[in-house]
Amino acid sequence: MLRTKTAESRAPVSNTPDNVSIKPQRMGFEFGEKVPRYWLDNSYILSHTMNALSVLFPQGEQFFVDSVRYYRDQINDPKLKAEMRGFIGQEAMHSLEHDAMNQHVRDSGMPVEELEKHLEVVLGIAKKLPKRHQLAITCGLEHLTAMMADMLLERSDVREDMHETMRPLWMWHAIEETEHKAVTYDVFQQVGGTYAERSFYLAFSTAMLGVMASYFTTRMMLNDPKHFSLKDTAKGLWRMWGKNGTFSSLIPTWLEYFKPGFHPWDHDNSELIASFKEQISEHIAPQYQNGNRRTLQ
């Protein structure tokens, strides 16, 4: 039997484990000539796919922040309010660091500004939806990013295929996505979000992300025609969607979201945070060693 809105709202205010701290950290990553053009498994299509995702992040994360911030005054629980502040700060840092990566992508000849304008149009349409529906979209997309983050932290084969100049960015991002993976979901439940809303918008968000990421990747590949290879493309697609592929392997986790009693921390992978956090802290630029609390406005 599907849970009703009343049943969903009875869930604990926050289920984030006590050993997880949601605090923003500016890293100060730099990119340039030291980064290979094809930095993921020396693959044309895999590298362009990840570059495309990076271009999506800054505007997408601003949308996440806005959808959560709208409900800030409606949440009374101190723990969840603190987690909301941490979420907003972390997403701010993600945008800043991916802006730096996206400048590298732009410098390599990719049409980043044009793609950003197209994304702005799509998000502008989404912003016309009711506020709780925007929050449901954010919940769905946070589920997707949490799945990918867990996959990256779990699978050494994926991490090791990343060039050493890019690996710290994506591992850091994965750690923080894991830390705050339940914040939007808990807020959604507290403001009366329903099972029907969250289920519909996961499917909707997945479809829209798939369309936009595929379009961005295709545009980048078209801007890099001299390196096109059917063999490389087929190999990359199999790596993503074949047996035990980086994306195909996530389908069972994606489906878990449709369980009536689902919560992001049903899968407690907090031990992964501790196992990688010290390693990533070594990559904090000197000027940010004492932290940075700038948030998106």
Work out how many domains the chain is built from and give that number: 1
The predicted pLDDT at position 291 comes to: 63
Measure CA 40 to chain center: 18
Which residues lie below 8 Å from residue 168, measured CB to CB, with a gap of 6+?
A: 27, 29, 280, 283
The predicted pLDDT at position 15 comes to: 86
Is 27 part of a structural domain of the chain?
no
Backbone angles phi, psi at 162, to 5 degrees: -85, 135
Range of the domain at 244: 45-284
Is 238 part of a structural domain of the chain?
yes
Is 23 part of a structural domain of the chain?
no
Rounded alpha-carbon distances, angstroms, from residue 21 to 84, 87, 228, 273, 275: 12, 10, 44, 10, 14
Question: Minimal CA–CA distance to 258: which of 217, 294, 296, 206?
Answer: 206
> What is the model's pTM?
0.91
Neighbouring CB atoms inside 10 A of 94's CB total 25
Is 26 part of a structural domain of the chain?
no
The predicted pLDDT at position 292 comes to: 54
Contact between residue 8 and residue 185 where contact means Cβ atoms under 8 Å apart: no
Q: Amino acid identity of 156?
A: S
Rounded alpha-carbon distances, angstroms, from residue 7 to 10, 89, 138, 259: 5, 31, 21, 13
Alpha-carbon distance of 61 to 71, in angstroms, equals: 16
Please report, in tens digits, the pLDDT of each residue of the chain (297 residues total).
344 444 444 456 888 998 999 999 999 999 988 899 999 999 999 999 999 999 999 999 999 999 999 999 999 999 999 999 999 999 999 999 999 999 999 999 999 999 999 999 999 999 999 999 999 999 999 999 999 999 999 999 999 999 999 999 999 999 999 999 999 999 999 999 999 999 999 999 999 999 999 999 999 999 998 888 888 899 999 999 999 999 999 999 999 999 999 999 999 999 989 889 989 999 999 999 876 544 333
Contact between residue 179 and residue 146 where contact means Cβ atoms under 8 Å apart: no
DSSP the chain: -PPPHHHHHTS-S----TT------------STTS-SS-BTT-HHHHHHHHHHHHHHHHHHHHHHHHHHTTGGG---HHHHHHHHHHHHHHHHHHHHHHHHHHHHHHTT--HHHHHHHHHHHHHHHTTS-HHHHHHHHHHHHHHHHHHHHHHHH-HHHHHTB-TTTHHHHHHHHHHHHHTTTHHHHHHHHTT--HHHHHHHHHHHHHHHHHHHHHHHHHHHHTSGGG--HHHHHHHHHHHHSTT-TTGGGHHHHHHTTSTT--GGGS--HHHHHHHHHHHHTTS-GGGTT-------
Is 11 part of a structural domain of the chain?
no
Alpha-carbon distance of 232 to 182, in angstroms, equals: 37
The predicted pLDDT at position 13 comes to: 84
The predicted pLDDT at position 10 comes to: 46
**In the numeric block, which tokens belong to residue 136?**
């449901």
Is 67 part of a structural domain of the chain?
yes
Is 153 part of a structural domain of the chain?
yes
Is 137 part of a structural domain of the chain?
yes
Q: Amino acid identity of 14?
A: S
